[in-house]
Structure 1
Amino acid sequence: MKTLLFSLLLWVAAAVPAASQQYSPLGVWADDQGETHVELYRCGEEICGKLVWLRTAATPTGQPLTDAHNPDPERRSKPLQGLVIMQHFRYDGEERWTNGSIYDPTNGRTYSCNLRMLQKDVLEVKGYIGFSFIGSAHRWKRLP
């Protein structure tokens, strides 16, 4: 009887599909203000993101813009282009990647962040402090 019950449980478990994602957030995305492009990519088991394009990428003298507001003085001279600004996102089911962080180089602050695919080419990026329901959500569009 125990063997039959165990076999039945294994069959039911195999028949129930695992949570799978319909859309992938991997690729290059334009922010909702048209100021930056961010490439989301795999970094181990997680998703990370780096700045790959900025509307204003250089100073008037032609020098690359740097991470001038970084709280770490040693990092303030690093160029913004190529800077990793998103880290630690893990798939949480239902087209969501949670428990990540997003760095805002305009003020040097890092916020908690969640991602949610709304459509194949629309990504909701929600940064927050403390509780996600009081955060700020932005819709990014996938670039070809």
Structure 2
Amino acid sequence: MKRQLAVFSALALAATAPGASAVTSIDGTYRDSDGFVEITVAPCGNARCGTITRIIRRKPGEPMNDAHNDNPALRSRPILGVTLLQRLSWRDGAWRGQVYNPEDGGTYRAVVRPAAGGALEVQGCLSIICRTRIWPKAA
């Protein structure tokens, strides 16, 4: 009887403990780390995507189109409306997918997590080299 009670108690505790794998929402609007654009993260199909929804100020020396895109056919498209975070799905305690960087036209493996103060931590990786940026919540 004591053994059954111990097993039942352990199962009950495991069922009520906050899980590390609980999905954490990242939906919302954020500013890029330099404050040039706002990115809105929202559902897109069965995943999450982050799209540039507002130009706050123009980046000095940069055109208002996707001039550095690896695909020449996309270089004339406006920056407004470009999807930066792509195919994010919840796996292993974080949102994982891809991040597009319009500054160099590259697409990288991404790990995205909520950060302090409602911000978003966005990590882009190429092989083992990663770069992390904090996108504050838009006001």
In structure 1, distance between residues paired with 2:121 and 2:32: 10
Q: Which amino acid aligns with 1:42?
A: P
Structure 2: segments with no counterpart, 5+ residues: 1-6
Structure 1: segments with no counterpart, 5+ residues: 1-7
**1:24–1:120 distance in 2 versus 1, CA, 3 Å:** farther
In structure 2, distance between residues paired with 1:67 and 1:32: 19
Which of the residues 100, 104, 121 maps onto 1:103? 100
Give runs of aligned pairs for residues 83-122 of structure 1, distance below 5 A.
Answer: 83-92=82-91, 94=93, 96-98=94-96, 100-119=97-116, 121-122=118-119
**1:135–1:107 distance in 2 versus 1, CA, 3 Å:** same
How far does residue 38 in structure 1 lie from its aligned partner after superposition? 0.7
Summarize deviations over 1:28-59 as a string: whole Å, max 9, x none: 101221122111111122111111122218x9
Give runs of aligned pairs for residues 57-72 of structure 1, distance below 5 A.
Answer: 65-72=64-71
In structure 2, distance between residues paired with 1:71 and 1:123: 26
Query: Cα RMSD over matched residues?
Result: 2.9
TM-score computed with the length of structure 1 as normaliser? 0.74
1:30 aligns with 2:31: yes
In the other structure, the counterpart of 1:129 is 126
TM-score computed with the length of structure 2 as normaliser? 0.76
Q: Which amino acid aligns with 1:139?
A: I
How far does residue 119 in structure 1 lie from its aligned partner after superposition? 3.0
Summarize deviations over 1:82-121 as a string: whole Å, max 9, x none: 1112101111254x212x1111112111111110112351
Contact 1:118 1:124 in 2 (8 A): yes
How many corresponding residue pairs?
Answer: 127
Identity %: 29
In structure 2, distance between residues paired with 1:72 and 1:38: 22
1:44 aligns with 2:42: no
